[in-house]
Amino acid sequence: MTKLALGAHPFLLGFEQLERLVERTAKTGNDGYPPYNIEQSGDRSYRITLAVAGFAETELSITVEDRQLVIRGRQSEDGDGRIFLHRGIAARQFQRSFVLADGVEVTGATMENGLLHVDLRKAAADTVVQTIRINQS
């Protein structure tokens, strides 16, 4: 039995990049931290919310790299000699990635009560009708 690649199916001409996109999504390395929500906030708008309690805005970065939204957090180490008897609040760096579809753009980001909100908007798709002329051979 041979494995049929997604991009090799005869009805999916030119979709080789879709298979690479699925593979890249599977390799994002997200380990569940920090927790997040994704909600649809309008017909073509979305909001990703990450729980980033303890992080300052300056310790977070949001970038879009090759249609991939990457949110990183890195807290500076406290060097004030504190001794923790119990440390249950995570103070570790993270990287959370989301693959964006064509036409989806980040419109802004806000911090509110320990939650980082990243707003996204999908552009309206243009309907294209093309008539192909048949030439005589």
Q: How many other C-beta atoms lie within 10 A of the C-beta of residue 118?
A: 21
Give the fold, CATH level 3, of 31-78+87-122: Immunoglobulin-like (2.60.40)
Of 50, 57, 55, the residue nearest 33 (C-alpha) = 50
The CA-atom distances, in angstroms, between 125 and each of 66, 99, 105, 110, 122 are: 20, 19, 13, 27, 9
Tens-digit pLDDT profile for residues 51-94: 998 899 999 999 998 889 999 999 877 657 788 899 887 678 99
On the question of pLDDT at 5 being above 70, the answer is: no
> What are the structural domain ranges in the chain?
1-29, 31-78+87-122
Amino acid in the structure at residue 81: G
Model pLDDT, residue 54:
86
Are 122 and 59 in contact by the 8 Å Cβ rule? The answer is no
